[in-house]
Amino acid sequence: MSKSIEVNDLNVYYDKFLAVEGVSINIEPRSVTAFIGPSGCGKSTFLRTLNRMHEVIPGAHVKGEVLIDGNDLYGPGVDPVLVRRQVGMVFQRPNPFPTMSIRENVLAGVRLNNTRISRNDADDLVESSLRGANLWEEVKDRLNLPGSGLSGGQQQRLCIARAIAVKPDVLLMDEPCSALDPISTLAIEDLIEELKKEYTIVIVTHNMQQATRVSDKTAFFNIAGTGKPGHLIEYDDTQTIFSTPKVKATEDYVSGRFG
């Protein structure tokens, strides 16, 4: 089930270094939101705080609030492992488990969660997840071969199948197409369009055309200089950000004048 994300005045730190400052944003369910901005402005850092993935880096921590349908991800007693089940993530480089079969890759998240599942239910889940990731037709005859034998674009769709197999509410994507060729990129973009019927999707992208093609809303982040924290500068409908942004820095960035 797709859920809303509300962030209130979030600061993100790597030890004492303030990497992202004062972000507040409301993201609607069943929408695609693109995070854009120059390198180092904190897009990936901020994205990772939406499922507490930054906590795998020692010393990384946040101040502020992230609410998923009103529930604080950082509330007392909240288990980060459960958070990551609810808020899935797809990374820049396709990262299927190389020694596992395609089938076992899809089921990997479910097995990690120690969910007991019958053989029949597992078969159904593998098929529905691979169909959901637009990969079923291409792999249905080789489910027991290693995931690493697929092309880069297929591997990325396998990672998306793995992410949706645990039935998350939100899907975070950190430059999911940056390692892919243009055809695979379009396949992933089509897939994002499909997935937004069921999920809240947030995608970091350096590709402006991609942001305009896939997203409903765009958030522009910027940084005043090296060592300074990144800020959310402007957040609006994608069409507005790319045609009539309110802030000059946004206009300069989307028109390619810097960054």
- Which chain residues interact with ligand ATP by CB under 6 A? 14, 19, 37, 39-45, 57, 230
Which residue's CB is nearer to ligand ATP, number 88 or number 230?
Answer: 230
Which residue's CB is nearer to ligand ATP, number 132 or number 229?
Answer: 229
As a whole number of Å, the CA-based R_g of the chain is: 18
Phi, psi angle pair for 15, to nearest 5°: 50, -120
Residue 148 CB neighbours (<10 A): 16
| Dist. CA 224–CA 204, nearest whole Å | 20
Which residue's CB is nearer to ligand ATP, number 39 or number 120?
Answer: 39
Exposed (0-12), middle (13-18) or buried (19+): which is 20, by Cβ within 10 Å? Answer: buried
DSSP character for 200?
E
Phi, psi angle pair for 53, to nearest 5°: -70, -25
| Dist. CA 222–CA 32, nearest whole Å | 20
Phi, psi angle pair for 5, to nearest 5°: -125, 130
Which residue's CB is nearer to ligand ATP, number 40 or number 80?
Answer: 40
Region for 33 from its dihedrals, namely left if φ exceeds 0, alpha if ψ lies in -120 to 50, beta otherwise:
beta
Which residue's CB is nearer to ligand ATP, number 111 or number 206?
Answer: 206
Crossing angle between the packed helical segments 152-165 and 182-195, to the nearest 10 degrees: 20
- Smallest distance from ligand ATP to CB 95, Å: 16
Which residue's CB is nearer to ligand ATP, number 41 or number 160?
Answer: 41
- Smallest distance from ligand ATP to CB 43, Å: 4
- Smallest distance from ligand ATP to CB 20, Å: 7
